[in-house]
Structure 1
Amino acid sequence: MPNYDLHCHSTASDGLLAPAELVQRAVGNGVDTLALTDHDEISGLAEARARAVELGLRFIDGVEVSVSWGGITIHIVGLNIDPGNAQLQQGLHAIRQGRTERAKKMAQDLARAGIPGSLEGAYAYVDNPNLIGRTHFARFLVEKRYVSDVKSAFQHYLVSGKPGYVPHQWATLKDGLAYIKAGGGVAVVAHPGRYKLTRTEMRKFLGEFKDGGGGGIEVISSSHSAEQFLEYAILANEFGLLASRGSDFHGPGESRVDLGRLPDLAAALKPVWHDW
């Protein structure tokens, strides 16, 4: 089976590698088709595509859109989008503005917890000043030795109930799906196993997602266990969703799984790339 990796990040959002470097690494890892899906940002796509053409890698324009549903943040990957679509661009711009304000509040809360200078420290890890996120704060916390690694930074400071967590209202599910649809893309639920939803809540969400025009779900993800591969394969078939595969790679030494180093999709699933 061809090696598809349809979820990864570059320095245009919170990844460690520039878009061209990411493409180079994907080729070295034997990836046949790569989608760059930066958080709420498409500025890295042109560089990545240019390098992919040079290296003979099939490249898919993508994005990962932040939405709020049921009081939690859910990420929706848009695949095969048109980066030049005005409605998509405007929607992503609005989401990015919310990120800047959230970062200021996070820094204030961390200062109250005895951690000064976190906003400036986080921005030191930001290549794109229009997009700052929790991962940048996590890297600052590692640098200053408040924690040993990025995962610990999230666990101790950056998730709900911890000192640096700031709840935020992202785009609605309806709007997020509309942005992707306007850009001609396929909407895919990213790493569903990461969301703290009961089985009933997950089915409710997937029903709304499908009814709103959603088309796929990440069955194979670095966030999933072998049991979850099966769980989301069953849900994909139950809801008539296309199955996707993505590493969610952010950078060497930081991500659980490297580009393209994932199990294959089960043959019984219809892949999101079926009609590409």
Structure 2
Amino acid sequence: MTEQTPQPSAFTLFDLHSHTTASDGYLTPEQLVLRAVEMRVGVLAITDHDTTDGLAAAARAIELQQLPLILIDGVEISTLWEHHEIHIVGLRVDKSHPALTSLLAQQTEFRHQRAEEIARRLEKAHIAGALEGARRLADGGALTRGHFARFLVQAGVADNMAQVFKNFLAKGKTGYVPAQWCTIEQAIDVIHQSGGQAVLAHPGRYDLSAKWLKRLMIWFKAQGGDAMEVAQCQQAPNERSQLAKYAADYQLLGSQGSDFHQPCSWIELGRKLWLPGGVEPVWRDWILPARSQ
């Protein structure tokens, strides 16, 4: 499949995967929407990990400042499939729907339990104060392993976050605690109940063989999954065209998103986000409100 980059003037730039301080992002919702406008994003989905807490503040900031930005209410739900942690993005969800709020409350409880166990194991390895440090960095947001990684870097235990995950938080390492997330089918069902579309997030990042990745997509589609992320701002060579082929093969719509967490040189809001020709976009049937000018 030949990749064709559309002309910027021919489309509204969609970035349908981003994070705020409501989970493990570095920018507040207010800061994120301002940066999205700065980066010329026209439609932004905020998809924090297992929480929708940042959406209201983002919507208020857009309205108060009359920003030329359309906000899509989203969430990124952590799931377990065949002992792999797989993330499912929900787009255009009703954040107040009882089924969604109930599932996210369950996921939050799992997060708290895992965080306490991670801290206990790090304590046994003579790394003290990890839970308090991670909670301080989360500042009331969803507590993630990323917050532990940031704490360990600040504490001088490792030089960078990648080193923390490799040496402390990966499977078999001191601070590794198996997740207890919901299933893919539960996530898809709740997203649909709340009026949203279920998107398989960053399928190229799960360290799966081609055989297992195809099994994942077949399973996702069989459970009613709607779309898969095809385009990201940082991808391996030919990954985008291969994912586009998979989307066509398994009759899934295509989505795109930066998975933005913080300003940096290689991952940025809206950067290199376009779908190859022949991919039906997840937004094809959306009726979007006019943006403020």
Give TM-score, length-normalised by structure 2.
0.90
What letter matches 1:124 in structure 2?
R
Q: Please give the root-mean-square deviation of Cα atoms over the aligned residues, in Å.
A: 1.4
Q: Structure 2 CA distance, aligned partners of 1:148 and 1:256? A: 19
The Cα shift of 1:262 comes to 2.1
Q: Structure 2 CA distance, aligned partners of 1:217 and 1:223? A: 16
| 1:34 counterpart residue number | 44
| 1:184 counterpart residue number | 195
Q: Structure 2 CA distance, aligned partners of 1:151 and 1:249? A: 17
Q: Structure 1 CA distance, aligned partners of 2:62 and 2:278? A: 30
| 1:122 counterpart residue number | 134
Give 2:176's match in structure 1, choosing from 158, 161, 165: 165
Q: Structure 2 CA distance, aligned partners of 1:58 and 1:274? A: 15
| 1:193/1:223 contact within 8 Å kept | no
What secondary structure does 2:229 align onto? strand
| 1:191/1:223 contact within 8 Å kept | no
Change (3 A) 1:26 1:41: same
| 1:191/1:224 contact within 8 Å kept | no
Kindly name which structure, 1 or 2, has the bigger radius of gyration based on alpha carbons: 2
The Cα shift of 1:221 comes to 2.1
What secondary structure does 2:138 align onto? coil
| 1:236 counterpart residue number | 247
CA-to-aligned-CA distance 1:178-206 (integer Å, 9 cap, x gap): 11111111100111111122222211111
| 2:233/2:273 contact within 8 Å kept | no
What letter matches 2:45 in structure 1?
A
The answer to whether the aligner puts 1:270 opposite 2:270 as a matched pair is no
Change (3 A) 1:185 1:77: same
Q: Structure 2 CA distance, aligned partners of 1:122 and 1:223? A: 27
The answer to whether the aligner puts 1:59 opposite 2:71 as a matched pair is yes
| 1:15 counterpart residue number | 25
Change (3 A) 1:222 1:165: farther
| 2:14 counterpart residue number | 4
| 1:194/1:223 contact within 8 Å kept | no
The percentage of counterpart residues that share the same residue type is 42
- Regions of 4+ moved over 3 Å: none
What secondary structure does 1:34 align onto? strand
| 2:92/2:195 contact within 8 Å kept | yes
The Cα shift of 1:118 comes to 0.7
The answer to whether the aligner puts 1:209 opposite 2:220 as a matched pair is yes
The answer to whether the aligner puts 1:102 opposite 2:114 as a matched pair is yes
Task: State the number of aligned residues.
Answer: 274
Q: Structure 2 CA distance, aligned partners of 1:28 and 1:169? A: 38
CA-to-aligned-CA distance 1:68-119 (integer Å, 9 cap, x gap): 0000110000001111111111011111100000001111111222311111
What secondary structure does 1:125 align onto? helix
CA-to-aligned-CA distance 1:135-190 (integer Å, 9 cap, x gap): 00011011112222222222222222221111112001111111111111110011
Q: Which runs of 5+ in 2 are unaligned?
A: 1-10, 287-293
| 2:53 counterpart residue number | 43
Give 1:138's match in structure 2, choosing from 121, 140, 149: 149
The Cα shift of 1:223 comes to 5.3
Q: Structure 2 CA distance, aligned partners of 1:77 and 1:83? A: 13
What letter matches 1:240 in structure 2?
Q
| 1:87/1:179 contact within 8 Å kept | yes
Q: Which runs of 5+ in 1 are unaligned?
A: none
The Cα shift of 1:246 comes to 0.6
The Cα shift of 1:225 comes to 1.4
What letter matches 2:42 in structure 1?
D
Q: Structure 2 CA distance, aligned partners of 1:74 and 1:223? A: 19
What letter matches 2:121 in structure 1?
D
Q: Higher relative contact order at CA 8 Å, sep ≥6: structure 1 or structure 2?
A: 2
What secondary structure does 2:85 align onto? strand
